[in-house]
Amino acid sequence: MIQSPRGTRDLLPSEMERRRFYEGILRNTAQRYGFREIQTPIFEEAELFILRSGPNIINELYAFKDKGGRDLALRPEMTAPAIRAFVNNMSNDPKPIKIFYFGQCFRYERPQSGRYREFFQFGAEIIGTATPQTDAEVIATALDMVKALGLKEYKARIGHIGVLRRELAQVGVAAEKMPEILQKLDKKLYEEAWPLMEAAGVGREDADAIFDLTGTVGGNEVLGRISGGESEYLRQVLSYLSAMGIDAPEIDLGVVRGLDYYTGVVFEIEAPALGAEKQICGGGSYTLSELFGGEKVFSTGFAIGFDRVLLALEKEGASCPGRKIDAYIVAASCDVTPKAFEIAGMLRRNGISADIDLADRKMAKAMKHASSIGSRYTVIVGSEDLKNDSVTLRDMTSGEQKTVKISGLLAEIRDH
Ligand code: HAM
């Protein structure tokens, strides 16, 4: 039997109903904050992701040549495509530009719970402003989204990648060596970071001080440990968040992020219940447009790992409205099938969801099917009733049945 490829899933009707419900909440929240949706291609020129995403992403890229010999890649994330789309189509629009997106991403990772090769991100970007207000707005949007989904247990951490980049530069790490070291620091793999730092000319004491910095976590007091302007910047971001009534994220100078393009504030949200793959959202400020042929423009954004956030909600026992079918229509005999279809048409035109027997089933089987699909009512169309322009309406919850004039059927179903 052919199965779906490793790391991918088929999303079946119940799961899709659940996903559309939560997607709607994210979409509404994005719109409440003034973001507008964009959609970009699922594959792009591979170079788009190779230029600045960093070693993590490049190693996981689904890259291929098309029949014309072009080097393409399935998108591993949607920030680089969003900025490419901005450079290509929106660079003259009034700024800041607030956009959001939802779609599949692909990474050749080792699949496990919460980690897939095809997964969905819901993300947003503010393009064209580099202010603490922008960062606060983005973080508020992300946190409000997670809250609106109804997730109870989650934790947000905010840092500033400028601090670590400066410290590394000060101890002699050249710019081209930084991505690999930052990647190790992101995962707190100090033993793997050390030989890279040593090779870059860093002494053991300096390395330990940097390791120590990445472990610095806490409240406002942490800001006192930062020497540069990043401290004041973070303070402002936190003050705008507080003004909006958003709970303060923890300050964590060890938030490095797995992608290489960040330049300023970085943040992550995690759901501890998820264990190893607990990061449900990541983001920060960056510049990419100049790499794609545009002017240098600062942006801030985030992406929520949609599959992970749904797993976290499931673990918390969150429920959402399921399938809804108002009426299942059954013709008691073949000669009244056209009338059954006429009634189905009338109900659907009037906004009632109606399904209909398509298999000339016997009444008992048709009833069983109506109950298995969760229909609220069954409408039984029989020749005797039809003589009085009536049908039999069965309430599938109470089991009660009554004869109803066809002219009153719509109101009967709608009113209950
Ligand atoms: P990222 O942290 O690489 O950031 O991914 C964002 C989120 O996608 C993660 O927090 C995680 O929840 C989810 N995710 C990542 N990989 C997988 C996977 N293999 N399976 C399931 N979920 C996964 C970005 O992609 C940036 N583009 C975010 C951003 C937007 N930064 C600025 N703007």
Q: List pLDDT tens digits, range 63-93.
A: 999 999 999 999 999 999 999 999 999 999 9
Distance CA 267, CA 251 (A): 9
pLDDT at 197: 95
Distance CA 376, CA 347 (A): 14
Distance CA 336, CA 363 (A): 13
Measured in degrees and rounded to the nearest 5, phi and psi for residue 394 equal -110, 125
- Residue 415, pLDDT above cutoff 90: no
Distance 106 CA to ligand 1 centre (A): 10
Identify the residues whose C-beta falls under 6 Å from ligand 1. Answer: 77, 79, 107, 109, 115-116, 119, 121, 123, 125, 258-259, 279-284, 301-303, 305, 307-308
pLDDT at 38: 98
pLDDT at 167: 92
Distance 138 CA to ligand 1 centre (A): 15
Measured in degrees and rounded to the nearest 5, phi and psi for residue 158 equal -125, 145
Tens digit of pLDDT for each residue in 170-210? 999 998 899 899 989 988 999 999 999 999 999 999 999 99
Distance 412 CA to ligand 1 centre (A): 49
Eight-state DSSP code of residue 416: -
Going by alpha carbons, the residue nearest to atom 23 of ligand 1 is 305
Going by alpha carbons, the residue nearest to atom 14 of ligand 1 is 305
> What is the average pLDDT across 313-333?
93
pLDDT at 292: 94
